Structure 1
Amino acid sequence: MVRKWEAAPETLHKVNFDGALYSHSRKGDVGVLLRDHRGQVAGAVAFIVNLVSDACVIEAIAAVKALEFATQMGCRKIVLEGDSRIVSNCLTKKDEVLSNIGPIIHDGRRWVRKFDICMIEHTKREGNVAAHSLAQYSLQLNSDRFWVEDFPDSITLAVLMDIASLNK
């Protein structure tokens, strides 16, 4: 069975993140979607990251950017979700991370502590389509973009499909 996007409990916001790597250009893109318990988009952000050559690094950066964005949007209780099991596991464990994502994970853990509630979950790509689409959309941008109570038209279908799946 394919896992679809799932909403956060009513008192929390869901923050989905994804990173996309273009190794030929050493460029990465990040997409972050902030949604309420009904799946409605409260905000979105697309970042461009230069000089990155590892998929795990861009996913870790995406997680930190998601935490930063949720804080900037005033969220205190969140579910952070991405499709990198490595990043999700590293953020939840207390062990020191000795790989190249160690410093990024350390930064992410500092952000996690700023929330009253921060549940960290892993999903498969099928449960993260809208954030993945937003990360891919970032490739078309020349600079970082932020949307409040809005999102780019290019991810509308993915968002609507997520909302429709909640009602089944």
Structure 2
Amino acid sequence: MTTKWELPPLFTIKCNIDASYDIHTALTEVGMVLRDHLGQFIAGKTIFLDRVASPLLAEIIGVREALTWLKELFSTTRLIVETDNLLVRQALEGIELPFFSLSSVKKSANQVAHCLARASASMSGSMEWNTFPPSLITDVLAFDLNNT
């Protein structure tokens, strides 16, 4: 399992996704980030989910939301979706879609999505960024690029 973020192959977009789940309130925030084969930020998104039954379900819903978003943006581009939840990858293992693969990575390779998920708790609702990343993830993006 990958321990640090890696560049996707040429002409491939990588989507890292993470969910943050509060066991006391069942509130969930999902963060996702898209980067190209050079590691450049393409887009980021946070989604607020109200009253999800479990952390695993929160991660699965997060992957579903990411796939919906990706389908709208990149219907014929090769995509890699990474989650730091091995159970999610195993649960979705049999799904085969053209131009798509799902993999699991260590939390250390998923820090940008994790930061977005955590930060979305303090934002008002869902947010989306295109072309320019929010300042709260620029240091983590730079760290990933400098360590690939």
Q: Give the TM-score range, shorter chain.
A: over 0.9
Give the aligned partner of residue 118 of structure 1: 100
Q: 1:25: Cα distance to partner?
A: 1.8
Q: 1:53: Cα distance to partner?
A: 3.6
| SS of corresponding position for 2:132 | coil
| SS of corresponding position for 2:92 | helix
Q: Distance in 1 between matches of 2:34 and 2:25?
A: 28
Give the aligned partner of residue 88 of structure 1: 89
Q: Distance in 1 between matches of 2:89 and 2:60?
A: 9
Give the aligned partner of residue 136 of structure 2: 154
| SS of corresponding position for 1:92 | coil
- Structure 2 residue runs of 5 or longer lacking an equivalent are none
Q: Which amino acid aligns with 1:164?
A: N
Alignment of 1:95-134 (within 5 A): 109=95, 113=97, 116-134=98-116
Q: How many residues align?
A: 146
Q: Distance in 1 between matches of 2:26 and 2:55?
A: 10
| SS of corresponding position for 2:137 | helix
Give the aligned partner of residue 34 of structure 1: 34
Q: Which amino acid aligns with 2:64?
A: V
| SS of corresponding position for 1:162 | helix
Q: 1:150: Cα distance to partner?
A: 2.1
| SS of corresponding position for 1:59 | helix
| SS of corresponding position for 2:125 | coil
CA contact (8 A) 1:34 1:70 kept: no
Runs of 4+ in 1 over 3 A off after TM superposition: none
Structure with a larger share of its residues in helix:
1
Report percent identity of matched pairs: 25
CA contact (8 A) 1:23 1:53 kept: no
Q: Which amino acid aligns with 1:8?
A: P
Q: Which TM-score applies when normalising by structure 1? A: 0.82
CA contact (8 A) 1:59 1:84 kept: yes
Give the aligned partner of residue 22 of structure 1: 22
Q: Distance in 1 between matches of 2:108 and 2:48?
A: 23
Larger Rg: 1
Q: Which amino acid aligns with 1:123?
A: V
